[in-house]
């Protein structure tokens, strides 16, 4: 691969919404980092994009010399909390936790001290009256810059690939404004980074006109009045390849990858589109989590097959469809394999040891890890 081919690959990712966008209104930027791990011709490039909406989150993007799947690989949402309880993550509540200038915040479960005095707030170029969750994250970064990043071990655990040596990282570079059509190939930084990767020569990296400071992508008025922008869904037809094997599904003649403009209300969007044509639900690999949910919230008839670790729900009550769409998304984030059959019921094929989409049917599948979904269709003739 040449540096030009690598740039073209990054450009394709940007066009497909699989490259970091720093002015994402659903994930207002606090800070960001890029890290290159390389050993001879093998390399992995990670971006960590830290922002805040309902909680502090580190969006992890990964690109690799041998990846099949590149782009957003995880939204790490146990980043900051106001107590040891990671769910205590609504940072604006910090103003109701006392009047001290210095407070304790938990970063990835570890306590750190943060100065929230007016002087500290003004030092990050924010008026105290405009304090918001995203600026609290920036305060943490300003005072404890290493507390928000994932370790190399954590990053490579996410990608499930061999850990390589860290050779370069920075929080300052020239990033393209993808929302207005700019591409990585337009940036001096990415031009020289691609050359450095291909030639194994870090000396050629030029950070360009650095613009990764948060206020370049979000004005102060927006800090105090952030509104969640409507989530949008994007479908892209992809090759079936190993999908049937990976997701234990048969009868796939067409496959579409579904990505979203934000991580909010994704299940609501899918429910609004497919809820009325849902036929049955097959939830797998997370029986403990599901059993608790079913016993507490779900009345619809469900069966558990212990041999296959599968819950199957047929004849779902209409009032519970939305809840099951939410469970499908939440369960996939915990590693579950959750499938929703549309138009026609999916049935288990004992010979194939997999569920099958009937002819004329479709199946909505959450990607394991919860970063995207897939729509699989069976248009084969009977």
pLDDT(363) > 80: yes
- In this structure, are 139 and 254 located in the same domain? no
Q: Is residue 280, in this structure, part of any structural domain at all?
A: yes
Q: Is residue 136, in this structure, part of any structural domain at all?
A: yes
- In this structure, are 196 and 239 located in the same domain? no
Q: What is the pLDDT of residue 327?
A: 82
Dist. CA 86–CA 77, nearest whole Å: 9
Per residue in 178-195, pLDDT (tens digit) is 988 999 999 999 999 999
* Tally of structural domains, the chain: 2
pTM of the prediction? 0.63
- In this structure, are 11 and 152 located in the same domain? yes
- In this structure, are 207 and 300 located in the same domain? no
Q: Is residue 167, in this structure, part of any structural domain at all?
A: yes
Residues 6+ away with beta carbon under 8 Å from 302: 294, 311, 312, 313
- 83: pLDDT confidence band, cut at 50, 70 and 90? confident
Per residue in 261-277, pLDDT (tens digit) is 767 778 888 998 999 89
Window from 58-72, 196-210, 290-304 with minimum mean pLDDT:
290-304
Look at 124 and 129; give whichever has higher pLDDT.
Answer: 124
Dist. CA 283–CA 320, nearest whole Å: 15
The domain boundary residue, chosen from 207, 229, 251: 229
- In this structure, are 352 and 222 located in the same domain? no
Q: Is residue 204, in this structure, part of any structural domain at all?
A: yes
- 382: pLDDT confidence band, cut at 50, 70 and 90? very low
State percent of the chain over pLDDT 70. Answer: 85
pLDDT(17) > 90: no
- In this structure, are 93 and 62 located in the same domain? yes
- In this structure, are 328 and 213 located in the same domain? no
- In this structure, are 161 and 267 located in the same domain? no
Q: What is the pLDDT of residue 36?
A: 97
- In this structure, are 252 and 182 located in the same domain? no
The domain boundary residue, chosen from 202, 229, 256: 229
Alpha carbon of residue 347 to chain centroid: 31
The domain boundary residue, chosen from 214, 229, 244: 229
Q: Is residue 382, in this structure, part of any structural domain at all?
A: no
- In this structure, are 182 and 238 located in the same domain? no
- 227: pLDDT confidence band, cut at 50, 70 and 90? very low
Q: What is the mean pLDDT of the chain?
A: 85
pLDDT(4) > 90: yes
What is the mean predicted confidence (pLDDT) over 121-139? 75
Domain enclosing residue 366, as ranges: 233-377
- In this structure, are 149 and 224 located in the same domain? yes
- In this structure, are 153 and 82 located in the same domain? yes
């Amino acid at each position: 691969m040449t540096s030009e081919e690598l740039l073209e690959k990054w450009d394709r990712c940007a066009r497909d919404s699989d490259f970091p966008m720093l002015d994402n209104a659903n994930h207002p930027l606090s800070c960001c980092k890029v890290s290159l791990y390389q050993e001879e011709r093998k390399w992995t490039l990670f971006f960590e994009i830290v922002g805040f909406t309902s909680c502090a989150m580190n969006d992890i993007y990964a690109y690799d010399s041998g990846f099949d799947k590149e782009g957003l690989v995880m939204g790490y949402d146990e980043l900051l909390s106001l107590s040891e309880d990671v769910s205590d993550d609504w940072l604006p509540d910090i103003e109701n936790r006392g009047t001290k200038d210095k407070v304790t915040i938990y970063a990835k479960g570890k306590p750190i001290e943060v100065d929230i005095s007016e002087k500290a707030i003004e030092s990050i170029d924010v008026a105290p009256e405009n304090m918001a969750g995203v600026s609290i994250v920036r305060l943490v970064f300003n005072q404890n810059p290493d507390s928000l990043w994932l370790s190399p071990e954590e990053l490579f655990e996410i990608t499930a690939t061999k850990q390589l040596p860290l050779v370069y990282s920075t929080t300052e570079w020239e990033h393209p404004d993808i929302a207005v059509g700019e591409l990585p190939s337009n940036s001096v930084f990415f031009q020289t980074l691609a050359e450095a990767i291909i030639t194994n020569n870090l000396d050629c990296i030029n950070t360009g006109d650095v613009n990764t400071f948060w206020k370049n992508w979000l004005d102060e008025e927006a800090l105090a009045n952030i509104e969640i922008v409507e989530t949008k869904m994007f479908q892209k037809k992809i090759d079936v390849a190993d999908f049937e094997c990976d997701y234990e599904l048969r009868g796939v003649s067409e496959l579409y990858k579904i990505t979203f403009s934000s991580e909010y209300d994704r299940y609501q969007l899918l429910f609004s589109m497919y809820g009325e044509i849902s036929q049955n639900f097959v939830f797998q690999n997370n029986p403990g989590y599901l059993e608790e949910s079913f016993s507490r919230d779900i009345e619809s008839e469900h069966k558990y097959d212990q041999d296959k670790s599968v819950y199957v729900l047929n004849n779902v009550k209409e009032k519970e469809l939305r809840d099951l769409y939410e469970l499908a998304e939440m369960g996939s984030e915990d590693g579950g394999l959750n499938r929703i059959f549309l138009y026609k019921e999916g049935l288990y094929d004992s010979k194939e040891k997999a569920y099958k989409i009937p002819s004329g049917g479709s199946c909505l599948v959450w990607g394991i890890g919860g970063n995207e979904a897939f729509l699989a269709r069976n248009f084969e003739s009977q």
